[in-house]
Amino acid sequence: MRRNTWQAPWSYREGVIIGGGLVFLGVVWQVFLPSSGFQLPFWPGNLYMGLIFLALLFTLHFLLKSTSVVKWLASVPAAVTSAALYCGLAILLGIIPQGQSSGSPIVHVLGLNQLTSSWVFALANLYFLTSLGLATLKRLFPFKLKNLGYLLNHAGLWIALTAAALGSSDLQRLSMNCTEGQPEWRAYDGSGQLVEMPVAIELLDFQIDEYPPKLTLVDNETGRIAVPDKKNAFFSVADSSFQLLDYRVEVDRLLPEAGLIGDRFEPVNEVGSPPAARLTVTRLSTGDSQSGWVSSGSFRFQPYAFKISDQYSLVMLPPEPRKYQSDIRVMTQEGQQLTATLEVNKPLKLGGWKFYQLSYHADMGKWSDMSVIELVRDPWIPVVYLGIFMMLAGSLFLFRHGTYKKKGLENGLD
């Protein structure tokens, strides 16, 4: 049976037209409205927005349920087209580098390099959440236990996405550069604006734990790694002895902190003393053997290579960090104090803020006396997590989808 566009029941054609209309509207607003993109209000404005949106969805569901628009918004064709629109925007987001100025004026004018704060994105989000919200309400009233999996998935996603979107204006992510021995209370936001914090942080000690350094063979002429076989191009000094091309390499002595004295290294205890190793190299085809030193160098000292032939040299790579951590003291304005250790993946929670170990002075490596600490405040996170945990519970219901499908058939949905 042929159906004219806009004649009930609506389906995909209407979805495509509405999606296209939203994109058009979004582009026009993006180009002609004075502010560049969509700006959410801060607390409590975003809360009111959320409540109004929720009230609107309830009104649509309870009072205008029988209109073809509302019926359609709660149906699969609206779900599919709105998800496809979201997916399409995400593809743009996944291809065009974000947050950088772009050479192309089109990208700039349409806000494609700041897509998540563009009008098109906001409208697509609204369409998606309206459809998802109405689809949820459709099965929420009257409540039936057999719909539990459906409700956990759909309500969970709605709650998580809505809270994440509304909460984005209240999210604060600041970073603070802390130097050992100097209390710091100035933090900077993503755009480099100074924010004065009500707490001060003093870096007591910054430590890095490193992996043993690696060795490789380079070509003297090109300076490139000379081992074509990628899987055996590097060896950790901890794995002695090993083979690189025709050479067997043994580590005779490893000095974690060494200084060059004449043509050999000795243990020293100075800032910036790099690791060094004494190696014995045997050429397997001839049996010739020789010894020499390598060192990775550091921000203060030159690397030291071991030239084993006209063609090749052995070199040591700078050690990679295994773990880094900051011992800090946090001081509030009221004079309270607290000490803690921050580590990657182990943040500290304090008064609505979370403190993260972010980075350090990478050039100085383990001698860095500066640690970058990130401070995050995200008051909406409990709501987002509620949604996430509902979805995690809901995902288990997908294991037994057979029941879903039979129900669909019985209800004659097609």
Partner 1 sequence: MGWINFEYYAFAALLLWGVGSVSLYLKTDKQGIGVRVPALFSAAGLAVLMLFILLLWLKIDRPPMRTLGETRLWYSFLLPAIGLVSFLRWRYKWLLAYSLLMGGLFLLINILHPETYDKSLMPALQSVWFIPHVIVYMFAYALLAASSLVALKAVYQDYRGKRWNTLPNLADNFVYLGFSFLTMGLLFGALWAKEAWGHYWTWDPKETWAFITWTAYLIYIHYRYKHQHRHKQAMWILLIAFGLLMVCWFGVNYLPSAQNSVHTYTS
Name the one residue in this structure whose structure tokens are 């996603």. 157
In angstroms, the CA 408 to CA 411 distance is: 5
Q: What is the largest CA-CA distance in the chain?
A: 93
Identity at 144, one-letter amino acid code: K
In angstroms, the CA 73 to CA 80 distance is: 10
Least distance to partner 1, CB of residue 164, Å: 7
Instruction: Confirm or reject binding of residue 76 to ligand HEM (CB under 6 A).
Output: yes
Using the contact rule CB under 8 A, the part of the chain among 41-49, 226-234, 307-315, 360-368 near partner 1 is 226-234
Using the contact rule CB under 8 A, the part of the chain among 45-53, 63-71, 224-232, 329-337 near partner 1 is 224-232
The angle, 0 to 180 degrees and rounded to 10, between the axes of the packed helices 381-397 and 148-167 is: 150
Least distance to partner 1, CB of residue 335, Å: 28
In angstroms, the CA 128 to CA 234 distance is: 50
User: Please, which of residues 114-153 interact with partner 1 by CB under 8 A?
Assistant: 116
Residues in contact with ligand HEM, total (CB under 6 A)?
21
Between vectors from CA 307 to CA 229 and to CA 251, what angle results, nearest 5°? Answer: 70
Of positions 344, 352, 379, 403, contacts partner 1 by CB under 8 A: 344
User: Please, which of residues 267-326 interact with ligand HEM by CB under 6 A?
Assistant: none
Least distance to partner 1, CB of residue 367, Å: 18
Sheet of strand 172-179: strand arrangement:
337-343, 321-332, 194-210, 184-188, 172-179, 370-377, 353-360, 348-350
Residues in contact with partner 1, total (CB under 8 A)?
61
User: Please, which of residues 343-402 interact with ligand HEM by CB under 6 A?
Assistant: 391, 398
In angstroms, the CA 129 to CA 151 distance is: 15
Q: Which does 396 bind (CB under 5 to 8 A by kind): ligand HEM, partner 1, none?
A: partner 1
Instruction: Confirm or reject binding of residue 83 to ligand HEM (CB under 6 A).
Output: yes
Q: Which does 132 bind (CB under 5 to 8 A by kind): partner 1, ligand HEM, none?
A: ligand HEM
Instruction: Confirm or reject binding of residue 3 to ligand HEM (CB under 6 A).
Output: no
Least distance to partner 1, CB of residue 17, Å: 18
In the chain, the N- to C-terminal Cα span, in Å, equals 14
Residues sharing a CB contact under 8 Å with residue 98, sequence separation 6 or more, in sequence order: 113, 114, 115, 116
Q: Which does 322 bind (CB under 5 to 8 A by kind): ligand HEM, partner 1, none?
A: partner 1
User: Within 13 A of 409's CA, how many CA atoms are on the CB side?
Assistant: 5
Nearer to partner 1, 159 or 293 (CB): 159
Phi, then psi, of 233 in degrees rounded to 5: -85, -25
DSSP secondary structure code for residue 329 in this structure: E
Instruction: Confirm or reject binding of residue 79 to ligand HEM (CB under 6 A).
Output: yes
In angstroms, the CA 99 to CA 177 distance is: 23
Residues sharing a CB contact under 8 Å with residue 198, sequence separation 6 or more, in sequence order: 332, 333
Least distance to partner 1, CB of residue 266, Å: 28
Least distance to partner 1, CB of residue 18, Å: 17
Using the contact rule CB under 6 A, the part of the chain among 33-41, 71-79, 197-205, 257-265 near ligand HEM is 71-79
Which residues contact partner 1 by CB under 8 A? 75-77, 79-80, 83-84, 86-87, 90-91, 93-98, 116, 164, 171, 173, 211, 229-234, 236, 320-324, 343-347, 354, 356, 358, 374, 376, 378, 381, 384, 388, 391-392, 395-396, 398-399, 401, 404-405, 408-409, 413-414
